[in-house]
Structure 1
Amino acid sequence: MADADTRPNVLFVLTDQERYDCSAPEGPPVETPTMDRLSGEGVRFERAFTPISICSSARASLLTGRFPHGHGMLNNCHEPDAILANLPDDLPTFSEELVAAGYDLTYAGKWHVGRDRGPADFGFSYLGGSDTHHDDIDEAFHEYREERGTPVGEADLEDEIYTGDDPRDGSDGTFVAAKTSVDVADTRAYFLAERTIDAIDAHAAGDRDDPFFHRTDFYGPHHPYVVPDPYASLYDPDEIEPPASYAETYDGKPQVQENYLAYRGVTDFDWELWAEAVAKYWGFLTLIDHQLERILETLAETGLADETVVVHASDHGDFVGGHRQFNKGPLMYDDTYRIPLQIRWPGVTDGGSTCETPVHLHDLAATFLELADGSPPDSFDSRSLVPLLENGGDPPADAEWADSTFAQYHGDEFGLYSQRMVRTAAYKYVYNGPDIDELYDLEADPSELRNLIDHPAYGDVRREMRKRLIDWMEETADPNRVWVTDVLENAS
């Protein structure tokens, strides 16, 4: 008789535009008991960052283990200005490697990594839950709502907020937030939890010789922040204080940042309006957290919890009024680049550990393969987090680990805009090709309000951070390195 497969199952939950601080101990008073539980039973990563703050590109990096310039999907695939509508066929992905390693892959929820090629083209059995705007893969959620007698699109909305001249007028602008009349069980978040529970139950009841990898991608807390009660009324806008970055003046910043206020239609939003939106955003996140609780309870009830690694992360963050901005864009602040990441590995991770080592979202690609006793393809710019998980969140004594993270941005529907960023624990440097660069002292100015790029006292820091950026661009074969390196080396 062959030996039983002892490799762990993996449950991967990815949220959409979830801010790092909402589930951090020092963050705002958002109720995230399940995410807190994962942190308490596993490792919470303090310095996890997305390689790019835009959906398709970040998700493509996660799938391919590569920085965006390596996979080529530089902006959102569904927009008319998409540089790539689909990932190139010849790029290895962690999912296809897992299939080859004998894992059973299932997937529910948002995809957004190509117009014509979905999860099934990358080794997953797709269980439904797509959203028409981004994917339109199937009709499962619509059928679910029809069966419940609450067809999609027939809900009553209250307290709507829209961008534009009149925040209460839905005839123009982007839909930001509202309260919906539907039951919690009618929400897409609840439905995706149901699909995930079904997948876990099916695995528990079937042939368990092969381990499973299940991925659930929630459509939130991405805008529009539309939630039913009790979540819509859970947080009182009158009790929500503006973040320190709300004092942003854009003095000494790249002009595109202030331009984005008008482009996003939030120039005239005051804090009273933002607080309403923040309350719905927080409520949305708590709704998702409660669905994650249902999923983890199912893992425990089926007896699979002890043999399943649970990973929670987000593709990138969301401004939600930080720096007075909405959504995301060519502003490389921690609001959208720092992400939550918690990993629980029963019998391996030390509960309540905090990892201060800087890591990237797409490091999860190599991590998943090492959990499967595999190795990442040579094409990956991804380093497995397994050594950190096995060592209480710290790198092993004999391992060299980068003390910075690297990120980039290539523009979106506002227009292409080349940026590169390097961040350490103390400083952040942003290269802005067509405008002024940025340098922030994160210890003195954690809200990133004061651009120190020309400050004479920071000359040595500026040179050191530019060198770090050059090193990252060289290491990852960034195509911009040829001329950007000359620019940075000759800058004062």
Structure 2
Amino acid sequence: MSASRPNVLLLLTDQERADLVAPDGLPVDTPNIDRLREEGMWFESAYTPTSICTSARASLLTGLYSHAHGLLNNSHEADAIRTDLPEELPTLGELLAESGYTNTYLGKWHVSHNHTPGDFGFRYFGGSDYHHDNFDVAFEHFRESQGIRVPEVDVEDKIYAGEGDDTTLIAGTDPVPVEASRPYFLAERTINALERWVDDDRQPCFHRTDFLGPHHPYVVPEPYASMYEPTEIEPWSNYAETFESKPRVHEQYLHYRGVEGFEWETWAEAIAKYFGFMTLIDDQIGRILDALDDLGMADKTAVVHTSDHGDLTGSHRLFNKGPMMYDETYRIPLVVRWPGVVDPGSQSTDFVRLHDLMPTFLDWAGIEPPEGIHARSIQPLLMGDLPDDWPASTYAQYHGDEFGLYSQRMVRTEEYKFIYNGPDRNELYDLTADPHELRNLADHPAYADVQREMEGRLVDWMDEVDDSLRRWVPKTLQ
């Protein structure tokens, strides 16, 4: 097999904050992702193009921002602008399959409501959370084979947001053994998929596993449910959020999500479960990496770990995600291990984006990326080279979800973040003086020059990606 066409194993999580696994991040036990980082390259400044599941995952498949692929919000909701990815768009799976890769996919999908990965170049092994397959049946058969018949509804230590009939389960304890949990079963099925690489001798291969977590509800079995002591979890630095000078929608989301009455003690209990969920997933990643070793495939396989977007988990006193472009939801983990190519223990601080993986995988396969995509291969960075024209900023979008359409655009540099909010006030943060994004400096006279520079960067990005709002937004900034 050519070194330029490696096997690829993509391990994607759902709603994983970057600081869960960053070298200087939160006190969460993730020895297996640490192992990937120590044997590969960690990207300190990786960002999602949009912090919402369907849109971000569609960008990963197409290399396009949301305004171009059309999936502006979650495909399963009643307010979905589109329910399905346009079939005429070139996608990662189809292009790899055309080049001779054997592609398999397992786990969460959430891109098209009426199509599965099987329609986009993958052999789909199931695992979606929206009933595209019989994964739930297979999962129950697996649990029965383990002699386990505990209904999933029997969750203990439940924490709810909201009141009365309008509640959302945030966290709890799953009264089953680890071996009967969904992350464990997904890892088991992933190992089965890797065994096919050897048994069928079909190479090169691309396999993607999407874990259904650590997205809420943070429901995990023991020992993970009590692995982290809530009283030892310190309040986030931005838990002191007052919403002063912030867009009105931020505080509205506090009430909409039903967490306005939460004290830190409640958040700490939920966060402890979130941490435990991450460690549970990390242990399953460890099982997968060990299987790669046992199968003799580790040296032939590039392993990539990332997430679709992050999670607020009480940061700014908010829950989940929404029309707020804080780093807790827009910064994502990204680590790449490629033995013999990527220097072990290396790190990049340059801005990269989730959908940059699409042309990167094509680059590894020797495929020219489609014309007009909004992403570029990170292969030069993996080789230790920084192209002269590599951007010194990153750009992101948000188009709304559940709460109604709400146009946002963000540009972030190492020092500053500027956010355009269509129907509300804009935001400007000095990330050196205020890394926790508490003080909105938009229109502050002392930052007038900075704001003009950041507005110019935003407009340049909108022009570069042919943003559908590029003709209107600059007029509001003048």
TM-score w.r.t. length of structure 2: 0.97
Residues 35, 434 of structure 1: CA spacing in aligned structure 2 closer, same or farther, 3 A cutoff? same
Residues 5, 271 of structure 1: CA spacing in aligned structure 2 closer, same or farther, 3 A cutoff? closer
Aligned partners of 2:6, 2:107: CA distance in 1, in Å? 23
1:105 matches 2:96: no
Aligned partners of 1:112, 1:172: CA distance in 2, in Å? 24
Question: Of 44, 47, 52, which residue of structure 1 is paired with 2:45?
Answer: 47
The alpha carbon displacement at 1:153 in A equals 3.3
Aligned partners of 2:451, 2:152: CA distance in 1, in Å? 55
Aligned partners of 1:116, 1:165: CA distance in 2, in Å? 33
In structure 2, runs of 5+ residues without a counterpart are none
| Aligned 8 A contact 2:109 2:129 in 1 | no
Counterpart of 1:311 in 2: which secondary structure? strand
Match for residue 70 of structure 1? 68
Amino acid at match of 2:409: R
1:221 matches 2:214: yes
Aligned partners of 2:389, 2:2: CA distance in 1, in Å? 34
The alpha carbon displacement at 1:444 in A equals 0.7
Match for residue 34 of structure 1? 32
1:295 matches 2:284: no
The alpha carbon displacement at 1:207 in A equals 2.0
The alpha carbon displacement at 1:155 in A equals 5.5
Match for residue 192 of structure 2? 198
Amino acid at match of 2:169: F
1:270 matches 2:268: no
| Aligned 8 A contact 2:4 2:364 in 1 | no
Counterpart of 2:369 in 1: which secondary structure? coil
1:370 matches 2:363: yes
The alpha carbon displacement at 1:354 in A equals 1.0
Aligned partners of 2:150, 2:84: CA distance in 1, in Å? 28
Question: Of 223, 245, 248, which residue of structure 2 is paired with 1:252?
Answer: 245
Residues 387-466 of structure 1: matches in 2 within 5 Å? 387-391=380-384, 394-396=385-387, 399-466=388-455
Amino acid at match of 1:72: G
Q: CA RMSD in A?
A: 1.4
Q: Deviations over 1:20-69 (max 9, x none)?
A: 10101221100011111111111000000000000000000000110111
Amino acid at match of 1:308: T
Question: Of 172, 179, 187, which residue of structure 1 is paired with 2:181?
Answer: 187
Aligned partners of 1:6, 1:163: CA distance in 2, in Å? 49
| Aligned 8 A contact 1:129 1:140 in 2 | no
Question: Of 10, 14, 17, which residue of structure 2 is paired with 1:16?
Answer: 14
1:478 matches 2:471: no
Question: Of 322, 341, 353, which residue of structure 2 is paired with 1:329?
Answer: 322
Counterpart of 2:374 in 1: which secondary structure? coil
Aligned partners of 1:200, 1:366: CA distance in 2, in Å? 23
| Aligned 8 A contact 1:225 1:281 in 2 | yes
Aligned partners of 1:84, 1:327: CA distance in 2, in Å? 22
Q: Deviations over 1:381-427 (max 9, x none)?
A: 11001111111xx414xx41001000010110111100000000000
Residues 318, 152 of structure 1: CA spacing in aligned structure 2 closer, same or farther, 3 A cutoff? farther
Aligned partners of 1:388, 1:6: CA distance in 2, in Å? 16
| Aligned 8 A contact 2:150 2:176 in 1 | no
Q: Deviations over 1:126-156 (max 9, x none)?
A: 1122224x75564332332343343473463
Counterpart of 1:481 in 2: which secondary structure? coil
| Aligned 8 A contact 1:319 1:325 in 2 | yes
Counterpart of 1:96 in 2: which secondary structure? helix
Match for residue 90 of structure 1? 88
Counterpart of 1:217 in 2: which secondary structure? strand
Q: Deviations over 1:412-467 (max 9, x none)?
A: 01111000000000000000000100000011101000000021111111000000
Amino acid at match of 1:469: L
Match for residue 352 of structure 1? 345
In structure 1, runs of 5+ residues without a counterpart are none
Match for residue 204 of structure 2? 211
Residues 100-179 of structure 1: matches in 2 within 5 Å? 100-132=98-130, 135=132, 138=135, 139-151=137-149, 153-154=151-152, 156-165=154-163, 172-179=166-173
Aligned partners of 2:154, 2:241: CA distance in 1, in Å? 36
Residues 136, 259 of structure 1: CA spacing in aligned structure 2 closer, same or farther, 3 A cutoff? farther
Aligned partners of 2:405, 2:269: CA distance in 1, in Å? 32
Amino acid at match of 2:321: K
| Aligned 8 A contact 2:126 2:133 in 1 | no
| Aligned 8 A contact 2:110 2:128 in 1 | no
Identity of aligned residues (%): 60
Amino acid at match of 2:445: P
Match for residue 284 of structure 1? 277
